Structure 1
């Protein structure tokens, strides 16, 4: 990606170069996307299974999102939870998913592949970017697991990635603000740095002030009880919390709305 492309991409995707940040909401499934949309999100990252950090949603989910969404959404391509060092069969699955997403008209993908020594796997990232064609490409928080974030940022630029998601390699955006600010300066207009990491209504404005971010990313989860009347608490479909079968995590549009307002205050 040449210098200047990130600026035009920012305008294309809603970034306001006069100081109003773009806000992307990380959501699980179509209902989460629609809730983020109601809350005023500029864009969504569409995932399945946020309890695992987000994995690839079904193609049916993406097709329905294309029919119903009024905001752009980027689909995560991640075959499993855990680390970002993928087997060859997992990587081939990612290539196929990207190709299918491109063919059905998905606007963007969210990807990340690392080598065992904590570097960006440039060969695989370039192959995924090639499959993506004209789709927008975000590197997710695999970036935060790299050994040298400054080197990793340059590698992503070489791979043709349009934006990188980071908490400054810390658990929270506030903790990682110094590194994020340095990455924003390093990136210039070559790639968009999008901040994340426990952002909420109380801290998002401060993080923006400390870092100079023009794109910010957060989730706004809330627990929703199941509508099931009959419940067999003797059986759990996963984990040890049997009651987990009778509640789900959904996006809270009110929290989305309030946090966006705080970011833009």
Structure 2
């Protein structure tokens, strides 16, 4: 059966994700920025409240995915700090100015996160060469790529997602995310055969997941 990750922007959503049957929480802040590093103390509280795996986003700001040396050092420091809380993995992604994968900086962060797994987030959707970028992300040591198939949402990106799953050939998990809902998750799963799926499960324009949507997302996975 496919697995479900819920992107959570507050502690209420993390509890809803667990109660609704999600397999994992991705914790971030700043929904309007597409997710940034969450507050340390809030993360500590959530870690104490939930038992399912908890991944933490490491992203110092919104905007592009090219970071200054100061921002990069901040990301390294945050990984070290969050590891002390007993989180289960990290979510980040760094690009070069030409929208290629910054293999040096990403590899450094993946090494620092060990033995915890890392997801390369939707910075992947900004790359120019999809298949080269796939190989570069694998080379860096990531366990998962979160992507909408480089399109505005997973339905529009379904063909690219299918191609990525095939090219990855179980070397890395391709996790469709971006506009994923209970109404389309079955279609996405049938066509891509991905193993993990990502959604905020937000249905009302708020910043909090809807427990019925979480349950339907999970029940619609085969």
Partner Cα separation in structure 2 for residue 205 and residue 142 of structure 1: 25
Other-structure match for 1:69: 50
CA offset digits 1:115-134 (Å, max 9, x no partner):
00011100100110111011
What displacement does 1:63 show? 1.2
2:112 paired residue number: 131
Q: Is the 8 A contact 2:15 2:50 kept in 1?
A: yes
Question: Residue 161 in 1 paired to residue 142 in 2?
Answer: yes
Structure 2 CA distance, aligned partners of 1:34 and 1:216?
Answer: 18
- TM-score after normalising by structure 1: 0.81
- Point out the structure with max Rg over C-alpha: 1
The reply on whether 1:195 has 2:167 as its aligned counterpart is: no
Q: Is the 8 A contact 2:10 2:207 kept in 1?
A: no
Coordinate RMSD, CA, aligned: 1.2
2:15 corresponding residue in structure 1: 34
1:16-165 alignment, distance < 5 Å: 20-165=1-146
The answer for unaligned runs of 5 or more in structure 2 is: none
2: distance between equivalents of 1:261 and 1:180?
A: 22
Select between 248-257 and 106-115 the one with higher mean Cα deviation: 248-257
1:102 and 1:133 in contact (8 A); partners too: no
In 2, Cα distance between equivalents of 1:222 and 1:35: 13
State the TM-score, normalized to the length of structure 2: 0.96
Question: Aligned partners of 2:202 and 2:166: how far apart in 1?
Answer: 31
Question: What is the total number of aligned residue pairs between the two structures?
Answer: 222
Q: Contact (CA 8 Å) 1:195, 1:216: kept in 2 or not?
A: yes
